[in-house]
Amino acid sequence: MPDPFTSRVIAIIKRIPPGNVLTYGLIAKFAGNPRGARQVSRILHSMSSTEGLPWHRVINAEGRIVLASDLEKDEQAALLREEGIVVSPDHRVDLDRYLWKSVNIDY
């Protein structure tokens, strides 16, 4: 079994509704570790199997898509656009508009 933090991160990401996004730092905070942003990114990177995980709805605090390759960035941007999210050519989204605000999860 993975540690509690990891399971919570997975649970939260699974509940992000289509058309909305969350940031690494926010997810970490909701999962109980305000300083775990980098862990969230690492979890997604390793669990790239993405078993039904909407990983593409996770972006950084600036509303930017930051991945290793430009190819991956375009891929994620395409997935987001399919959900109606406007992604600028330089891979940025409007957080004020698409950030998932009604995060309410009980453990």
Partner DNA sequence: TTAGTGACAGGCA
Partner DNA sequence: CTGCCTGCCACTA
Name the minimum Å distance from CB 84 to DNA.
Answer: 20
| Residue among 50 and 84 whose Cβ is closer to DNA | 50
Among left, alpha and beta (phi > 0; psi -120 to 50; other), residue 25 is: alpha
Name the minimum Å distance from CB 87 to DNA.
Answer: 14
Structural element, H or E, at residue 45: helix 37-46
Between CA 37 and CA 1 the distance in angstroms is 21
| Residue among 71 and 106 whose Cβ is closer to DNA | 71
Number of C-beta neighbours around residue 26 at 10 A: 21
- Binding region for DNA (CB under 7 A): 23-26, 33, 35-42, 44-45, 48, 55, 58, 60-62, 66-68, 72, 76
| Residue among 35 and 71 whose Cβ is closer to DNA | 35
Nearest partner of 96 among 27, 21, 40, 26, judged by Cα: 21
| Residue among 1 and 106 whose Cβ is closer to DNA | 1
Name the minimum Å distance from CB 107 to DNA.
Answer: 18
